[in-house]
């Protein structure tokens, strides 16, 4: 109280002095007190200035960070809106020439926020679902996201990602909801393509597994049949006293044994091709010499079977080729052997060879094999390159196609060529092979 009374009396003296009521100068204590008051006021003003400056800087930093965050969201998303569902207002944030703009609009329903959805998506993400998503986001301040096809201004549907994020506005639990949209057409298309490819790969794997199972079943069945024939012939041979009949039984057994050996070798060839361990060589050879050896072999074989074999070779401009002679011989051997097996006595097997074209320093050799005189149904042509599918009855015996043409087709493809089969317009079963080869520089 004493301090207050002293300060009050000094203020009264200063008041009288300033108003001119007193004619004398203030005393030293009064001057000291006035200086202390002024100094206190200056300190208070300085503190207030520093506090306000700090507050302004802090607000600027916050606005800068908010601006950067909004700019990042605007760059990431196609649309950014602050939805006040209670006031039925939506505030759209966007940048124009680097400046942040906020557009306000009234909303009445979900249709003002999200355009028409694709019918199949609209069944899942209906109006009740979207209202529930907004309420959940506002209540929990957690994100709620879904992907659907929204109808664009061009009338087509585009995949969009919709994200609702609840936001607290103040301390009295007033909340709004951010709605962010972005186009996900590319990523969705890539995802759908990946799923489609995965489904396709799974189907192919199932088909491959089924094909392998069928192949093993047919291989096992064919092997059992051949072994039964061999065992039956051997039993008959042991009991047969006629030398001619015994020789026939042994010949049939030997033929079945050859078939088994050929089939086993074909399985190994197929395995090597599928594993990528089969090598295709590139060496110079004379195709005329190769064809001469094959023709001599099959003319003798045709005479044994009472089948006419004839091979015509057009004059070859490039007889010296560069490629795998061994694989070429194997392809032609398989094909001609198959043709003889499926040709009846008294009929013909015709072979024609020519150089079809020369292009890009390569020559295309065309080989045509025709089992003339056979009546070939269309289903037999369609099964030409399927394992164990080509079978026909010859007298009391059944002729098996085995794996010869399957291996032939794989080898032709591996050598960069093509093979096809048709019924030669009703004249018989015909196979056409085209194989590319490099050729030597010297010309015949």
pLDDT of residue 393: 43
Question: Domain coordinates of the chain in residue numbers?
Answer: 2-68, 77-183, 186-278, 281-444
According to CATH, the topology of domain 186-278 is Helix Hairpins (1.10.287)
Q: Who's near 216: CB < 8 A, 6+ residues apart? A: none
- Percentage of residues of the chain with pLDDT beyond 70: 77
pLDDT of residue 437: 92
Higher pLDDT among residues 114 and 35, named by residue: 114
- Is the pLDDT at 152 greater than 60? The verdict is yes
pLDDT of residue 433: 92
- Percentage of residues of the chain with pLDDT beyond 90: 7
Higher pLDDT among residues 106 and 386, named by residue: 106
What does residue 89 show for φ and ψ, rounded to 5 degrees? -125, 150
- Is the pLDDT at 395 greater than 50? The verdict is no
- Is the pLDDT at 179 greater than 50? The verdict is yes
pLDDT of residue 64: 67
CATH number for the domain whose boundaries are 77-183: 3.30.450
Identify the burial level of 90 via C-beta atoms within 10 angstroms of its C-beta, where 0-12 means exposed, 13-18 middle and 19 or more buried: buried
Instruction: Find out whether 293 and 311 touch, Cβ atoms under 8 Å.
Output: no
What number is the average pLDDT over the span 295-311?
87
According to CATH, the topology of domain 281-444 is Heat Shock Protein 90 (3.30.565)
What number is the average pLDDT over the span 68-77?
71
What number is the average pLDDT over the span 298-305?
85
- Is the pLDDT at 425 greater than 80? The verdict is no
What number is the average pLDDT over the span 211-233?
74
- Is the pLDDT at 104 greater than 60? The verdict is yes
Q: Who's near 373: CB < 8 A, 6+ residues apart? A: 343, 344, 346, 347, 348, 427, 428
What does residue 87 show for φ and ψ, rounded to 5 degrees? -85, -5
Compute the 3-state secondary structure of the chain and give helix, strand, coil in percent, each to the nearest 5: 50, 25, 20
- Is the pLDDT at 394 greater than 60? The verdict is no
Comparing 74-83, 285-294, 345-354, the range with the smallest average pLDDT is 74-83
What number is the average pLDDT over the span 78-104?
81
- Is the pLDDT at 99 greater than 80? The verdict is no
- Helix (H) / strand (E) containing 283: strand 283-286
- Is the pLDDT at 372 greater than 60? The verdict is yes
Dihedral-angle region of residue 159 (phi above 0 means left; psi in -120 to 50 means alpha; beta otherwise): beta
Higher pLDDT among residues 182 and 376, named by residue: 182
pTM: 0.49
- Is the pLDDT at 367 greater than 90? The verdict is yes
């Amino acid at each position: 109280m004493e301090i207050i009374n002293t300060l009050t009396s000094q203020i009264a003296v200063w008041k009288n002095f300033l108003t001119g009521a007193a004619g004398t100068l203030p005393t030293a204590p009064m001057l000291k007190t006035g200086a202390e008051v002024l100094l206190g006021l200056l300190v208070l003003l300085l503190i207030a200035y520093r506090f306000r400056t700090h507050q302004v800087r802090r607000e600027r930093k916050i606005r800068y960070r908010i601006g950067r965050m909004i700019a990042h969201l605007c760059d990431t998303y196609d649309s950014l809106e602050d939805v006040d569902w209670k006031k039925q207002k939506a505030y759209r944030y966007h940048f124009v020439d680097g400046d942040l703009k906020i557009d306000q609009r009234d909303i009445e329903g979900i249709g003002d926020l999200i355009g028409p959805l694709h019918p199949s998506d609209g069944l899942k993400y209906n109006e009740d679902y979207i209202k529930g998503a907004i309420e959940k986001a506002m209540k929990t301040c957690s994100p709620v996201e879904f992907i659907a096809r929204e109808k664009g201004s061009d009338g087509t549907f585009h995949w969009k990602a919709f994200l609702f994020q609840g936001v607290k506005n103040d301390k009295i639990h007033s909340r709004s909801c951010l709605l962010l949209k972005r186009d996900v057409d590319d990523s969705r298309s890539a995802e759908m393509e990946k799923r489609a490819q995965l489904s396709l790969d799974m189907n192919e794997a199932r088909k491959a597994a089924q094909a392998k199972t069928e192949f093993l079943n047919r291989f096992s069945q064919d092997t059992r049949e051949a072994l039964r024939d061999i065992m039956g012939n051997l039993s008959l041979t042991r009991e047969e006293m006629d030398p001619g009949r015994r020789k026939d039984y042994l010949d049939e057994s030997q033929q079945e044994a050859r078939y088994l050996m050929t089939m086993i070798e074909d399985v190994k060839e197929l395995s090597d091709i599928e594993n990528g361990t089969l090598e295709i060589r590139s060496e110079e050879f004379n195709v005329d010499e190769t064809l001469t050896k094959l023709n001599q072999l099959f003319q003798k074989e045709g005479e044994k079977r009472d089948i006419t074999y004839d091979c015509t070779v057009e004059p070859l401009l490039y007889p010296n080729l560069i490629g795998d002679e061994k694989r070429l011989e194997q392809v032609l051997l398989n094909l001609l052997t198959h043709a003889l097996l499926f040709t009846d006595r008294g009929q013909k097997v015709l072979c024609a060879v020519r150089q079809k074209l020369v292009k890009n320093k390569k020559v295309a050799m065309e080989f045509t094999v025709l089992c003339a005189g056979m009546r070939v149904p269309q289903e037999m042509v369609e099964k030409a390159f399927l394992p164990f599918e080509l079978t026909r009855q010859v007298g009391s015996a059944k002729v098996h196609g085995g794996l010869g043409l399957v291996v032939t087709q794989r080898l032709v493809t591996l050598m960069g060529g093509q093979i096809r089969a048709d019924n030669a317009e009703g004249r018989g079963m015909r196979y056409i092979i085209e194989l590319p080869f490099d050729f030597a520089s010297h010309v015949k």
